Structure 1
Amino acid sequence: MELLLPHDVIEYILERLDVKSLLRFTTVSKQWKSTIIRCRYFQTRQMLRRKQSGKTDVVLVSSYDDSASNPDIEALRTLVVGSSVSVKIPTKWENKIRPLVSPSPGFGKEKINETYKVVWLYNHAEIGLKRKGITTCEVFDFTTKAWRYIVPASPYLIHQRQSPVYCDGSLHWLTEGDETNVLSLDLHTETFQVIPKPPFLPCLPLLGSSMCSLHDRLCVSERVWPEQVIWSFYSEDKTWKKIYSITLKTTPYWLSNCIMAFAPLSVLQNDKLLFHNRQSSDGSFVTYDIKTKSCDIANESKVKSYGALCYFPSLISIL
């Protein structure tokens, strides 16, 4: 094959394949192996094509159970959207921890040096601290492999039940207080700023709205019966715009009647939104077709989970 086609043409073909196939093809030749394993430019192009395809996998974070009758609770599992395939991910902390009272750590990549960081921003009162100030921010840098503090930390309390949302090189939180703000942390400069307040955001965000990331933009899903509207933040002109409108009357019971706004996990092919019902006994996933305003079962897996996160399998290593 290499004798018939220039290697740049072969790369053009290879970048359209999935990660599993590419790893198998590393045995074809030393040049193929070098391209697939060591070429960051090729790896980035392959990941971008995967994102553009709308094909995503899901990581399930299982719920924890303190009861003696159910001691074997899985921590992580993956599934393929559109099938019943799911695979357990072994972890060292399985069956040994409980869900955090404060928000889970956020994870993302800063845009300049393209290094990965874990950020844990938490309110002091929620974990029993009596230090001065109201929040603490810790960062784990995979380059130095060490934790350190960001000073000053956030000037706002953050909502303990809203997980941080990553997009476009920053992590975002909803704040507590008399009015709700959107707090942003730039992972490169490690500085906080407040995004222009969405005019639609209520004082109690978890009762009627929820944050997510779609098309690598910060989005807020707002529930106002009989619709659920999804707003997207455009950093270019600092404005919020409506990008989707969901007719709740045509959605499943748990989506239409719950007081909470369910944020979509991802936008799939053909402009379909993927939702996860973490409150159900079977951990169901459904897709909502924006054009036909109809819902379908996204997978047949019966794995119940506390939360879910979409991801694109990639060749890029964080280390």
Structure 2
Amino acid sequence: MEEEEKNPSSIDIVSDLLEAIFLRLPLKSILISKSVSKRWRSILESKTFVERRMILQKKRKILAAYNCKCGWEPRLLPGSSRCKGNEEIVYMHCNAARPSLSCDGLVCILEPHWIDVLNPWTRQLRRYGFGFGTIFGVWSAFSPGNWAMGFGRDKVTGSYKVVKMCLLSLSKIRVRDPEVEYSVLDVETGEWRMLSPPPSLDLHKEEFHNVLVPAMSVTQETHIVNLEDRLTIANTDTKAEWKLEIWSMDAEVKTWTKTYSIHLENRVASLERQNRWFTPVSVSKQGNIVFYDNHKRLFKYYPRKNEILYLSADTTVISSFFENLAPLPLKSTLPYPHPRRRTKCPLLRPNEFGILDIILATLVLVGSIWSPLLFRVKL
């Protein structure tokens, strides 16, 4: 392919046609095709191609943590499992006890001394320091009373960012108005920037502004999540009626709508109401919603039938999940631990592509390009 690019007499295939062909290929063939030529790599890593492929995906999967404490870097395990309700679950090799955040298929994992940002599909992992206010340096820093973190995407520039809020000193935890540090990490540049105080953050302008909340009682069972690119509040009522209420906000007019009210009594796996809460994962085109509880149980609610299906147990759900080919920066700001210090994990496999895989992907693309042309000639 590189020789064709240098030869002016060769047939020039426009980038739009190549992109249309790439969109029809499976993920593995796309990843292999990046090694064929610089031109192909530039197309496959372009923002337009990455966004078009995400839009064309018909069904999202569920990302869950495969709990392993071997010390190796997190990565996606091969294969998947399908549970009741036709839901497909993919597993990521990681320590399930570590806080995990996700956005557009990318995963942000909080380690004791650094932050990992991972694209499980391209197998790229980038490691960053904690930036300003790194005073704890211990696991207790991730307790809800000390820290709060978020992971999202700037929809204007397309860059991914990590937002951090933390107390500046342990001595100020019991102070009535503790001093709190707000900062944001740009994953593309690896730089931290200080922010003004909350309550609501615009990731593009990196500014906070007010957002009203629905009239409801907030308890420890109340959680804020990103559901189908909308800010959502999931509140588990354990008093008069045991039910899960889900409120979604319209970002344009800043109004809240109660989209779901799911009665749970005698309909979910039997456990006590107290200290139990539920979090939504994804919504299908038919309006069916998948949600899980803090006891690793996965459910699916069908509004038309008003039924709840019990999908699986012992599943540490991270988020809704789909393929994202967005490339991460070339370098991490922190080195990886030496591999000799880690325990071998039999779950992990080599991820390098062989020369036969590259040849196969090339033949697939060449066939996709020339088959329609030859068919027209015969006609």
Structure 2 counterpart of 1:116, which letter?
Answer: Y
Is 1:105 matched with 2:105?
Answer: no
Larger radius of gyration: 2
> Is contact 2:62-2:90 (8 Å) kept?
no
Is 1:146 matched with 2:191?
Answer: yes
Structure 2 counterpart of 1:147, which letter?
Answer: W
Corresponding residue number in structure 2 for 1:55 = 60
Match of 1:310 among 298, 317, 320: 320
**Which structure 1 segments of 5+ residues have no match?**
64-70, 155-182
Range that drifts further, 78-87 or 269-278: 78-87
Match of 2:91 among 86, 92, 98: 86
The 5 Å alignment of 1:107-146 reads: 107-124=151-168, 127-129=170-172, 134-146=179-191
Match of 1:24 among 6, 9, 32: 32
Match of 2:297 among 284, 288, 305: 284
SS at match of 1:253: coil
Q: State the distance in 2 between where 1:184 and 1:288 align.
A: 30
> Is contact 2:164-2:183 (8 Å) kept?
yes
What TM-score do the two structures reach when normalised by structure 2? Answer: 0.57
Corresponding residue number in structure 2 for 1:161 = none
**Which structure 2 segments of 5+ residues have no match?**
1-10, 83-87, 96-108, 114-136, 330-379
Q: State the distance in 2 between where 1:106 and 1:315 align.
A: 21
Q: State the distance in 1 between where 2:215 and 2:110 align.
A: 44
**Cα separation, partners in 2 of 1:73 and 1:192, compared to 1, 3 Å:** same
Corresponding residue number in structure 1 for 2:244 = 228
Deviations 1:72-122 (A, max 9, x none): 588857574635753415999589963611344211122222222211112
Is 1:248 matched with 2:264?
Answer: yes
The 5 Å alignment of 1:54-73 reads: 54-60=59-65
Deviation of 1:316 after TM superposition, in Å, equals 0.7
Corresponding residue number in structure 1 for 2:122 = none
Corresponding residue number in structure 2 for 1:187 = 203
Q: State the distance in 2 between where 1:286 and 1:259 align.
A: 18
**CA RMSD of superposed structures (Å):** 3.9
Q: State the distance in 2 between where 1:217 and 1:34 align.
A: 31
Deviation of 1:237 after TM superposition, in Å, equals 1.8
Structure 1 counterpart of 2:185, which letter?
Answer: F
Q: State the distance in 1 between where 2:270 and 2:147 align.
A: 24
Is 1:293 matched with 2:337?
Answer: no
The 5 Å alignment of 1:194-209 reads: 194-200=210-216, 202=217, 204-207=218-221, 209=222
Deviations 1:24-55 (A, max 9, x none): 3446777654432x3321111101223xx231
Deviations 1:157-208 (A, max 9, x none): xxxxxxxxxxxxxxxxxxxxxxxxxx311112221122013122x2x4324x
Identity of aligned residues (%): 24
